[in-house]
Amino acid sequence: MTHGYARCSTNEDRQDINRQTRELKKQGVEKIWLEFEHGDTASKEQQRLMLDAVNPGDTILTLELSMIRERVRSGVENARAKGKQLGRPPVSEASIPDSFYRYYKRYNNIIS
């Protein structure tokens, strides 16, 4: 049997664990263990239950570091697909506050 472990640091309202579940299923995982715990938490109940349930010859799929990178890439793609603006918002002359120009003139006078 192939087991997979999916974990998010916060609750399901703030992070989408379904993406991890889909990726584990793509890898052929038969049993997926879900956990909403911070990575530094010493006691992860679902992880412990998974480790207790595995038998000799079973496979556990975590790919922790590579999965983190893959989750970041997948999360960016997921956000873009939902139409979310990523990165800094575009700057235009209209979006720059008036106070910037006031202080910028003072700054230029000081360094000149």
pLDDT along the chain (112 residues), means of 10: 88 74 92 84 87 96 74 87 88 89 86 74
Q: What share of the chain is helix, strand, coil (3-state, %, to 5)?
A: 45, 15, 40
Task: Please state at what angle helix 64-81 crosses helix 18-26, rounded to 10 degrees.
Answer: 120
Q: Is the pTM of this model over 0.95?
A: no
Q: What's the number of domains the chain is made of?
A: 1
CATH of the domain at 65: 3.40.50
Which range of residues forms the domain containing residue 50? 2-111
